[in-house]
Structure 1
């Protein structure tokens, strides 16, 4: 993997290094299932249900920490699954602060980069009930689940009008 600086990023994301991947997911592709909780054998498909945001983060990433702090104040408008590379004690703190609002799972960075094929972190997917990726993009510090959820609803309304 080659590490490259993002060319068209703004805000705090300029300091983030991206990993160039040939097999990164794109909008329209179907997300593959994987186990996110090895102890309880919980699969990602089981968690996604009728549609969910997947937020991929690491506590070792400065933009991720900034974004994680902002998540506490957000009202997502759809279920959110936080997949975080962190230490066990960090996960316990995150659970206490955000556990009622989000489904939180501790996953290795390797699973984020290869299993979830994220080109960088923080990264966000929106996956619908058919496990199809509708949003696939970096999460900058001003990312808003609500704005993206509204955008998805508008696109669905337009598609229905066109058919």
Structure 2
């Protein structure tokens, strides 16, 4: 199978039923998406497919249609993505395990809603679990990222 991941074409030699997460991690060597639960309940494995957040732990690689973006693919030569910068500015991470999925979901939210309300953020991020409980910092970082994106526009 040929996939476009983070703007590059990669060949995946795998059973089409293999979850995308394992194809990314074990075959392509892309380690940002994490295994958390294996049942699409925690969000640690979230990647974007054509801009929409998808739980890669349950999506068979053979069913992937569209460009896959992982946390490794959101920054640019000019620097960090505004969400990544906001995460640093707000000191969101504690253990960090869930952060790739949190960030990818936040990126998708801000592409859909440029200046989200707290309710928008809670609705979009509700399926991403953080065992450290950094939810208030996550919300603050998303608001900061929205400001950074609007300032760059």
Q: TM-score of the superposition, structure 1-length normalised? A: 0.24
Which structure has more relative contact order (CA 8 Å, sep 6+)? It is 1
Q: TM-score of the superposition, structure 2-length normalised? A: 0.25
Which protein has the bigger strand share?
1
Which protein has the bigger helix share?
2
